[in-house]
A and B are shown apart, each in its own frame.
Chain A
């Protein structure tokens, strides 16, 4: 049975998510809502025959029984307010902002342990790109002492909310890095690159580790990349791991499916595909 989904937030992430939801065989898009009457996203949704509203979360509250899952693609501040409503009705919300109120999720790491969670947070696009690799590194050494992630995304794929939320982006990514790797120290950097033709998303990791097992590293990196490729086919190594004494450096590039923005905007796909895969996995066993 198809699960009904509402999307709140009509920026780049919301629009791309709309197309992915429409494509999904397990999900049915009921509503696409935001706050701006003139939002290009609302117009895009209307073109696709989706019910829209510029009344945002108020509209969704009025129709609370007409959807099972809500994707929040607004902003960190807005999510805090939105979740107050959904919590009242015990509604499953998948949060694509860096608000991190709920349980942090990286599908390839912990999707199965969050089956009962009501608010699932997807950290950031840089988090989704880097955490699988960070996790693989953790499994390949005794301890990660420091981990650093620098992501570069094209200017046209960084919407207004991302630009206003840069500080939350950084702090949430760092929080997640420490959580999933047990590293004492983490640093995240986001570069917005205006180059034309656009750059695709690229994420470089630097890790300082104790007792690196080179064979395990190669195996674990390869395995996790294949797992991510199941939902983001365009996820690939751009720089094979370089190991220099206790330091590991590697990089991935992320190409998207081109559902809304062209394929270089892999940052949208990595977080949106994660959201879709979580929603699909919860489609059959929602309380």
Chain B
């Protein structure tokens, strides 16, 4: 297992966009894509944090529209595959059509980990046009290995070429990752990938465990750029994979300049693990909520930890910022649920 090939999917310009409320600029997208492409990244994913079509009042208006982002990225990704993230119910098929026109290579269709059947029509739609499609299971800590296999099997039956498990809340530990990834690898016989978050300081370790269990696509971002405590740090995970002898297109030494570029031009702060991030991680709340919860707590002048507990009790899934406002409003009026 140690010598198998691993593809690195760089989602700095998509998942990382959550960290700056989807305000990546044309210049940042252009320069980063060019440098990441030169560094040998296999897949470069671009877009609003919640995917194509997500720019909205609910999720935040992006600084650059989807079409422009993809156009710039397509121009700069000469060897790397250009990827997008899409959530049915958030984005529309007309937006997928736009992405196809813009020359996107990799289509990742995502749902909450227990609701995969909302993706089947979109997966099928893209496969009929012979596109490379992954099914993505978000918040994968919220289902056990058996259930994940069932959901992933449905995506495979709909035509998915591979499955990505996302630890959106950064809740998982290596034992959980190993069990879930190997269950999917053994049960499906198609490409399996892993997307970790660093709320509990375990993103790189979890990614290594995923690879050891048979995952061949690993998501990462430069300097761990991302919401809350950030994502798996690209430079670190590549360095460790090199030590273990995994075959990769990208080399650590080629990431040094990419890292410096990002430090000076993109990341306003290096993700660290604050108490709020551990709170969201521990409670299994979508990690992207961290900054928003802080902002709302401050705006409404309420206790941040009590708000987290209330949100955890409501078992929020991703993209429910409207419920955060509602709970904050209740708390500020000191209503009891």
Identify the A interface with B (CB < 8 A). 146, 148, 150, 152, 155, 160, 163-167, 169-171, 187, 189-196, 199, 202, 204, 206, 208, 238-239, 247, 249, 251
Cβ contact within 8 Å between B115 and A194: yes
For A169, what are the chain B residues with a Cβ–Cβ distance below 8 Å? 89
Q: How far is the CA of A202 from the CA of B317 in the complex (A)?
A: 14
Q: Is the CB of B117 within 8 A of A191?
A: no
Provide the B231-242 mask, 1 if CB < 8 A to any CB of A, else 0.
000000000000
Which of A146, A194, A238, A251 is packed against the most chain B CB atoms within 10 Å? A194
Contact A191 B320 (CB under 8 A): yes
Does B317 contact A195, Cβ atoms closer than 8 Å? yes
Q: How far does the alpha carbon of A193 sit from the alpha carbon of B138 in the complex, in Å?
A: 12
B120 at the binding interface (Cβ < 8 Å): yes
- Asked whether B92 is an interface residue with its Cβ less than 8 Å from the other chain, the reply is yes
Interface of chain B, main secondary structure:
mixed
The contact sample of 10 A-B pairs, CB cut-off 8 A, is: A164-B117, A166-B121, A166-B122, A171-B92, A189-B319, A191-B319, A191-B320, A194-B315, A239-B325, A239-B326
Q: How far does the alpha carbon of A240 sit from the alpha carbon of B68 in the complex, in Å?
A: 37
**Least Cβ distance of A169 to chain B in Å?**
8
Give the nearest-CB partner of A195 in chain B. B315
Kindly identify which residue among B58, B114, B121, B329 contacts A204, using a CB–CB cutoff of 8 Å.
Answer: B58
Pick from A146, A163, A170: contact of B117, CB under 8 Å: A163
Interchain CB contact under 8 A, B320 and A160: no
Q: B307-337: which residues lie under 8 A (CB-CB) from chain A?
A: 314-317, 319-320, 322-323, 325-326, 329
> Which residues of B approach A to under 8 Å, CB–CB?
56-58, 88-90, 92-94, 112, 114-115, 117-118, 120-122, 142, 314-317, 319-320, 322-323, 325-326, 329
CA distance A164 to B323 in the complex (A): 26
Q: Which residues of B contact A191 (CB under 8 A)?
A: 89, 317, 319-320
Q: How far is the CA of A58 from the CA of B90 in the complex (A)?
A: 36
User: Are B92 and A196 within 8 A (Cβ)?
Assistant: no
Please name all residues of chain A whose beta carbon is closer than 8 Å to the beta carbon of B326 when the two chains form the complex.
202, 238-239, 251
Among B57, B88, B121, B316, point to the contact of A195 (Cβ < 8 A).
Answer: B316
Tell me the minimal C-beta distance from A175 to chain B in angstroms: 12
Q: A167-B92, A206-B56 are in contact. List 13 more A-B contacts (CB 8 A).
A: A150-B322, A152-B320, A165-B121, A166-B118, A166-B122, A167-B121, A193-B316, A193-B320, A195-B315, A206-B57, A206-B58, A238-B326, A247-B57
> Contact check: which of A164, A166, A239 meets B329 at CB < 8 Å?
A239
B151 to chain A: closest CB distance in Å?
A: 11
Given the interface contacts A152-B323, A166-B121, does A192 sit within 8 Å of B315 by beta carbon? no
Q: Is the CB of A163 within 8 A of B322?
A: no
A249 to B58: give the CA distance in the assembly, Å: 10
State which of A167, A199, A202 has its C-beta within 8 Å of the C-beta of B88.
Answer: A167
Contacts of B121 in A (CB 8 A): 164-167
Tell me whether A193 and B58 are in contact in the complex, defined as CB-CB below 8 angstroms, given that A204-B322, A238-B326, A239-B325 are known contacts: no
Q: Give the chain A neighbours of B319 by CB distance below 8 A.
A: 189, 191
User: B322: which A residues are within 8 A, CB to CB?
Assistant: 150, 152, 202, 204, 239, 251
How close is A209's CB to chain B, nearest CB, in angstroms?
12
Chain A minimum-CB-distance residue to B125: A167
Contact between A163 and B118, CB atoms less than 8 A apart: yes
Taking a contact as CB atoms under 8 Å apart, the answer to whether A148 and B56 are in contact is yes
How far, in angstroms, from A190 to B317 measured CA to CA in the complex?
13
How many angstroms between the C-alpha atoms of A191 and B115 in the bound complex? 10
CA distance A188 to B88 in the complex (A): 11
Determine the chain B residues whose CB is within 8 A of the CB of A204 once the complex forms. Answer: 58, 322
Across the interface, do B325 and A193 meet the contact criterion of CB distance under 8 Å?
A: no
- List of B residues within 8 angstroms of A247 by Cβ: 57
Which of B57, B92, B120, B317 neighbours the largest number of chain A CB atoms within 10 Å of its CB? B57
The smallest C-beta distance from B106 to any residue of chain A, in angstroms, reads: 20
Query: CA A194 – CA B117 in complex, angstroms?
Result: 13
Q: Are A199 and B120 closer than 8 Å at their CB atoms?
A: no
CA distance A189 to B320 in the complex (A): 11
CA distance A196 to B319 in the complex (A): 17
A192 to B118, CA, bound (A): 9
**Bound CA span A238–B311, Å:** 16
Q: Which residues of B contact A166 (CB under 8 A)?
A: 88-89, 118, 121-122
A167 touches B117 (CB 8 A): no
Q: How far is the CA of A166 from the CA of B118 in the complex (A)?
A: 7
Which residues of A have CB within 8 Å of B314?
195, 199
B307 to chain A, nearest CB (A): 16
Is there contact, CB below 8 Å, between B89 and A170?
A: yes
Contacting residues, chain A, for B94 (C-beta < 8 A): 171
Whole-angstrom distance between the alpha carbons of A239 and B326 in the complex? 7
Bound-state Cα–Cα, A148 to B90, Å: 12
Q: Closest CB of chain A to B322's CB: distance in Å?
A: 4
Contacts A204-B322, A251-B326: A155 and B115 contacting too (C-beta < 8 A)?
Answer: yes
- In the assembled complex, how far is the CB of residue B152 from the closest CB belonging to chain A, in whole angstroms? 16
Determine whether the beta carbon of A193 is less than 8 Å from that of B317: yes
> What chain A residues lie within 8 Å of B315 (beta carbons)?
194-196
The listed residue (A150, A194, A196) touching B58 by CB distance below 8 A is A150
Residues of B within 8 A of A195 (CB): 314-317
Interchain CB contact under 8 A, A189 and B56: yes
